[in-house]
């Protein structure tokens, strides 16, 4: 049976970086179809690989800082983030590297990975509130993910 | 005049910057290292019940939440003036040792391994964990993932959940370990010891068997003679969870041994206008600038520093490897920064053996895991050895336990001055006038940096475990960019 994981990612105490966690919590407050699991995660890299093993499809929600308009929503698919397997940070391997590693090790890896990212205003101040444009975008992302999962609006 | 730049492509704006200034002859004039800062951490904490800090501080960064949870829990013990029960203490150390083994494994195979296993000047597209398993075999890759997963499992057996444990309470931990859980812990720990043997064998085969690498490790470009800091037990053996903080001088002689609560008597902080991150130094020696030697208060706190600052390891296999390391590298102390990778594997073995010893101790299943606090002192300092160096949490509260002040010195911050010095020396040794500065050269400069396993997530209370790096080489005179290397996430 196909299994889908919706993964809200981020840091709960760095303002807009909490977006993914916020959306995942809201989503989980409503009933999910069979085979769909919703999780919140504050991890990246190898720890992410351990989370997504065994799922057929993974939908990731995260904040982004890319120079777009605050609150702008971007939907990315696997092909969009295959940028080579360089490692650049001291402690993180990229999502693509983590997924490729899983494949090479023969793990059961998701066939489809979709990322919903929202352009953040502030991810550098300690706080638990989303900025107004990101909070508004969070509501839209919630609806987009419900549509992605085939959940009808009530 | 040109400038070299390594631009990160990342989901976040903040990133570390290494700026290398060269003179008109193309020789290195100076090197600056900067990290970004996040705002408002103390303000975020003040006014909350102090018990909450053991759950908040691990969220500063996703790299070593367990270290923050432990240091925080110990500081909160101090605030309430309560000591954990013997089993409470053992359970904390068991969790912590298992975490350490997993963290050190990650560093070697994922972060520093690529430089050695794939090669320091290899194509960056291959110089990663995928390149490592292509060289050492798929089964090793699987073993690394299994090792990490089982370390997480052991952490969650005690901690309540993996990654962000919630077990630490003033006076102990929240729940005892059942006999079944203990059996699983023993099984996992035995696997960790076996894994540590394999990791050391790979280090032997890949690094020590290669004369070029041994020369690189011993080379002057990667050497600094500094003071070394680490936590030791009553027998001056390395301990990660508790003990006294010992500092040895560049000749290896004991310079200081102090209780964590007295850290402000022995450490001071130097500031530079170009960096948010402070430079701690030894008060008793004084700040003499970014220089080596006995007269400079610069110290290092890293796996190699801990080994240098101690008289040995408390477990047999780690002790044997400790002796072999010093015999191979010419006795104690070892000043070669790149030997930190070997020291990290010695510590991996110790962490695994310690996990097994604690799991097999009959007292580990004793249900008496907590002393209930009855009063309040209002101030506490908690200290542990984090994988990246000595970690201090210092809290003050009012008489109801509401936070009024927070100060942290985190692992990487201890090494800030030494990291700057190592970058400069490596750059001066590798960049010569009139030669082209290749990506491989810049990577070798970064190796001086990676040896410290630097993590600025909590050092500047910054981005959750992601520290993309920008290296630029600029003209000292015109400030123009000479070369640029991009780091993709």
Picking from B275, B278, B281, the residue whose alpha carbon sits closest to that of residue B293 is B281
Is-contact B304 B435, C-beta < 8 A? no
CA distance A1 to chain B (A): 25
> Rounded CA gap, B445 and B471, in Å?
10
The two structure tokens encoding residue B62:
């996703």
In B, minimum Cα distance to A44 occurs at: B62
Q: Do B148 and A43 touch (CB under 8 A)?
A: no
Alpha helices in B81-137 (DSSP H): 86-106, 113, 129-136
**What H or E segment, with its residue span, contains residue B423?**
helix B416-430
Query: What 3-state DSSP class applies to B484?
Result: strand
Interface test with A, best of B463, B471, B485, B486 (most A CBs within 10 A): B463
Q: Where are any strands of DSSP class E within B347-468?
A: 379-386, 389-397, 403-409
Look at A124 and B39 and tell me if their CB atoms are within 8 Å. Answer: yes
Is residue A153, in this structure, part of any structural domain at all?
no
Distance CA B415, CA B422 (A): 10
Query: B145, B153, B340, B387: which to substitute to probe chain A, counting the most A Cβ within 10 Å?
Result: B145
> In terms of Cα–Cα distance, which of A138, A75, A140, A146 is closest to A112?
A75
Listed in sequence order, the DSSP H helices in B281-315 are 303-309
Q: Which long-range contacts (CB under 8 A, 24 or more apart) does B283-290 make?
A: B284/B255, B284/B256, B285/B227, B290/B417, B290/B420, B290/B421, B290/B424
Pairwise CA distance, residues B444 & B124, whole Å: 12
The HSE-up count of residue B54 (CA atoms within 13 Å, CB side) is: 26
Q: Does A89 contact B130 at a Cβ distance shorter than 8 Å?
A: no
CB contact under 8 A, A126 and B39: yes
Distance from the B397 Cα atom to the nearest Cα atom in chain A, whole angstroms: 20
Strand, coil or helix: A60:
strand
Interface of B with A in 160-179 (CB under 8 A): 163-164
User: Across the interface, do B12 and A65 touch by the CB < 8 Å criterion?
Assistant: yes
Is A111 exposed, middle or buried, given 0-12, 13-18 or 19+ CB atoms closer than 10 A? exposed
- What's the Cα-to-Cα distance from B336 to each of A37, B214, B219, rounded to whole Å? 49, 11, 8
Give the mean model confidence (pLDDT) for residues B251-268. Answer: 97
Q: Residue A20 falls within a domain, yes or no?
A: yes
Boundaries of domain holding A91? 4-148
Rg of chain A over Cα atoms, rounded to whole angstroms, equals 15
State whether B489 and A94 contact (CB < 8 Å): yes
Measured between CB atoms, which of B39, B111, B145 is closest to A125?
A: B39
- Sheet of B403-409: strand order equals B379-386, B389-397, B403-409
What distance in Å separates the CA atoms of residue B140 and residue A133, rounded to the nearest whole number? 46
Nearest alpha carbon to residue B448 among B112, B87, B191, B57: B112
| Substitution target from A8, A42, A90 for chain B, most B beta carbons within 10 A | A90
**Rounded to whole angstroms, how far apart are CA atoms A98 and A51?**
11
Each residue's pLDDT tens digit in chain A (154 positions)? Answer: 789 999 998 888 888 889 999 999 999 999 999 999 999 887 766 777 888 889 999 999 988 777 789 999 988 887 666 544 433 344 456 677 778 888 888 888 999 989 898 888 887 788 889 999 999 999 999 999 999 998 866 5
Interchain pair A124, B127: CB under 8 A = no
Task: Domain B83-216+358-372: give its CATH superfamily.
Answer: Cytochrome-c3 Hydrogenase, chain B (1.10.645.10)
- Report the 10 Å Cβ neighbour count for B88: 25
Q: Are A145 and A116 in contact (CB under 8 A)?
A: yes
With CB atoms and an 8 Å threshold, state whether A90 touches B38: no
Residue with the bigger pLDDT between B148 and B79: it is B79
Q: How far is B186 from B309, CA to CA, in rounded Å? A: 30
* Nearest Cα to Cα of residue B315 among B419, B454, B193: B193
**Mean pLDDT score, B124-136:** 80
CA distance B163 to B155: 8
At B118, the pLDDT band (50, 70, 90 cuts) reads confident
B252 has a chain A CB within 8 A of its CB: no
| b/e per residue B125-149 (b: at least 16 CB within 10 A) | ebbbbbbbbebbeeebbebbbebbb
ipTM above 0.95, yes or no: no
- CATH number (domain holding residue A49): 3.40.50.1450
* pLDDT, average across residues B244-266: 97
Spatial distance between the Cα atoms of B397 and B376, rounded to a whole number of angstroms: 9
CA distance B413 to B61: 14
Give the residue-averaged pLDDT of B372-386: 96
Q: How far apart are alpha carbons B374 and B135 in whole angstroms?
A: 58
The whole-number pLDDT of residue B467 equals 46
Separation of first and last alpha carbons in chain B: 29
Q: For residue B252, give the nearest of B342, B331, B344, B347 by alpha carbon.
A: B331
Q: Which tens digit of pLDDT belongs to each residue from B343-373?
A: 999 999 999 999 999 999 999 999 999 999 9
Chain A residues with CB within 8 Å of chain B CB: 11-14, 17, 42-47, 49-50, 62-66, 83-94, 97, 100-101, 104-106, 117, 123-127
Better-predicted residue by pLDDT, A17 or B291: B291
Distance separating alpha carbons of residues B252 and B242, to the nearest angstrom? 22
**Is the Cβ pair B128, A97 closer than 8 Å?**
yes
Written as six digits, the tokens of A57 are 């499809």
Instruction: Give the bridge partners for B281, in sequence order.
Output: B268
> Is there a domain that residue A154 lies in?
no
CB of B469 within 8 Å of a chain A CB? The answer is yes
* Region of residue B312 (phi > 0: left; psi between -120 and 50: alpha; otherwise: beta): left
Domain ranges of chain B: 3-35+417-488, 83-216+358-372, 224-333
pTM: 0.88
C-alpha angle B48/B52/B57, rounded to 5°?
105
Contact criterion met (CB below 8 Å) for B80 and B372: no
Total domains present in chain A: 1
CB B188 within 8 A of CB B98: yes
pLDDT in tens, B20-74: 888 888 888 888 887 666 667 788 899 999 999 999 988 876 668 899 999 999 9
CA gap A68, A120 in Å, rounded: 9
Coil/strand/helix, residue B336? strand
pLDDT tier at B484 (50, 70, 90 boundaries)? low
pLDDT band, very low/low/confident/very high, at B77 (cuts 50, 70, 90): very high
Residue entry with tokens 């931990």: B173
């Amino acid at each position: 049976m196909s299994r889908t994981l919706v993964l809200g990612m981020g840091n709960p105490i760095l303002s807009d970086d909490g977006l993914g966690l916020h959306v995942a919590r809201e989503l989980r407050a409503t009933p999910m179809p069979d085979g769909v699991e919703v999780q919140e995660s504050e991890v990246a890299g190898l720890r992410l690989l351990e989370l997504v093993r065994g799922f057929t499809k993974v939908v990731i929600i995260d904040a982004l800082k890319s120079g777009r308009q605050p609150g702008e929503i971007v939907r990315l698919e696997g092909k969009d983030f295959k940028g080579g397997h360089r490692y650049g940070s001291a402690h993180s391997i990229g999502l693509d590297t983590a997924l490729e590693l899983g494949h090479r090790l023969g793990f059961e890896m998701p066939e489809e990975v979709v990322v919903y990212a929202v352009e953040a205003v502030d991810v550098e101040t300690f706080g638990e509130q989303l900025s107004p444009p990101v909070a508004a975008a969070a509501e839209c992302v919630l609806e987009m993910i419900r549509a992605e999962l085939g959940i009808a609006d009530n | 005049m040109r400038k070299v730049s390594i631009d990160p492509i990342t989901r976040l704006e903040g990133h570390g910057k290494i700026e290398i200034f060269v003179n008109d002859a193309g020789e290195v004039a100076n090197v600056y290292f900067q990290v970004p800062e996040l705002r408002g951490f103390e303000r975020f904490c003040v006014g909350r019940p102090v018990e909450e800090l053991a759950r908040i501080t691990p969220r500063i960064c996703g790299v070593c939440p367990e270290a923050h949870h432990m240091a925080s829990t110990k500081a909160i013990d101090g605030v309430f003036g309560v000591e954990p029960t013997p089993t409470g203490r053992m359970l904390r150390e068991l969790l912590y040792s298992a975490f350490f083994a997993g963290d050190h494994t990650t560093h070697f195979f994922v972060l520093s391994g690529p430089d050695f296993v794939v090669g320091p000047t290899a194509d960056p597209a291959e110089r990663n964990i995928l390149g490592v398993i292509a060289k050492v075999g798929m089964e090793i890759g699987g073993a690394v993932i299994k090792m990490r997963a089982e370390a997480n499992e052991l952490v969650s057996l005690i901690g309540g959940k993996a990654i962000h444990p919630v077990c630490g309470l003033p006076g102990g931990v929240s729940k005892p370990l059942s006999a079944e859980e203990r059996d699983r812990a023993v099984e996992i720990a035995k696997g960790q010891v076996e894994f540590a043997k394999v990791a050391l064998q790979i280090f032997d085969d890949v690094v020590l068997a290669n004369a070029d690498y041994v020369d690189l490790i011993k080379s002057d470009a990667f050497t600094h003679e500094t003071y070394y800091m680490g936590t030791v037990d009553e027998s001056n053996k390395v301990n990660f969870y508790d003990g006294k903080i010992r500092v040895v001088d560049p000749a290896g002689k004991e310079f200081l041994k102090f209780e964590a609560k007295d850290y402000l008597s022995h450490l001071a902080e130097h500031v530079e206008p170009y960096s948010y991150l402070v430079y701690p130094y030894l008060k008793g020696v004084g700040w003499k600038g970014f220089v080596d030697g006995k007269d400079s208060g610069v110290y290092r706190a890293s796996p190699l520093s801990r080994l240098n600052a101690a008289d040995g390891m408390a477990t047999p296999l780690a002790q044997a490897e400790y002796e072999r390391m010093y015999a191979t590298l010419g006795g104690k102390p070892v000043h070669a920064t790149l030997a930190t990778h070997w020291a990290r594997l010695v510590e991996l073995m110790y962490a695994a053996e310690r996990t097994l010893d604690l799991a097999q101790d009959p007292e580990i299943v004793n249900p008496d895991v907590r002393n209930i606090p009855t009063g309040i002192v209002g101030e506490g300092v908690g200290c542990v050895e984090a994988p990246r160096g000595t970690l201090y949490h210092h809290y003050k509260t009012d008489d109801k336990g509401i936070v009024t002040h927070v100060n942290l010195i985190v692992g990487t911050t201890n090494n800030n001055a030494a990291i700057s010095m190592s970058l400069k020396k490596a750059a001066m040794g590798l960049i010569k006038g009139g030669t082209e500065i290749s990506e491989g050269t810049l990577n070798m400069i970064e190796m001086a940096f990676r040896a410290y396993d630097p993590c600025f997530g909590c050092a500047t209370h910054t981005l959750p475990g992601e520290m993309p790096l920008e290296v630029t080489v600029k003209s000292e005179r015109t400030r123009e960019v000479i070369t640029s290397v991009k780091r993709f996430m």
